[in-house]
Structure 1
Amino acid sequence: MTQTAATSVETIKALYDAFARGDVGTVLGAMDEAIKWSEAEGNPWYLGHPFVGPQQVVDGVFARIGDEYEDFRLELHRFLADGDTVAVQGRYSATSHRATGRPLDAQFVHVWDLRNGKLVRFQQYTDTRQWPT
């Protein structure tokens, strides 16, 4: 069932709100069991293939955010939607990368695909030169 663009944007905004308040359970609950999560090529966490399933996303992305960054935040600027696909433009920031001490300040675009109200695909685009390693 295809959602309207407005409903898709509401779903994705609610997801970011849950992430911002640390409600990872809600974020994971919104994911399809076979979600394909792709980090940007050149991102330190890029594997050459997507993370598949919520547990791989937790282990490969979410846990690393907490382990590697102080005060990691997302600033959301714009939401664009076409049916079940939503693109989000924004900025990542963090006070410091724990290993290097360098701050993070990088723009991003996230592209989300939904099916039957569940997240089935995520693609990150970001300025990977800004990511401290």
Structure 2
Amino acid sequence: MASLFTKIVQGEIPAYKVAEDSQFLAFLDIRPNCKGHTLCIPKKEVDYIFDMEEQMYMELMRFSRKVALALEKTVSCKRVGVAVVGLEVPHTHVHLIPLNDMSDMNFANHYEMTDDEFKELAESIHVNL
């Protein structure tokens, strides 16, 4: 059965897309820890990040870096934190989280945003790629 993220890749579920190429997709987390929390995924469904082919892994990190640099230009933060947890959705994903404080990495946090705020933020990050 296709993962939630595969359904996003296939267009079956909407997402606030930030960046996309032939292999990867970045979109805003709909339950963000803080403003700008973004997920980077391979379009090919691979459950565990370390099961990925080494080249795909390296390309995902390169793609994530590009998105993180655009995120830093868009959202006021001291740094962009990176996390790979892998338990929430059985599809490799890299969390990019704008950080001003260590508590911003706490996945119990939920930052509320409207649909319009999500759309505007996604476009702003995309423009800074």
Query: TM-score w.r.t. structure 1 length?
Result: 0.26
Structure showing the higher strand proportion among its residues: 1
Structure showing the higher helix proportion among its residues: 2
Larger radius of gyration: 1
Query: TM-score w.r.t. structure 2 length?
Result: 0.26
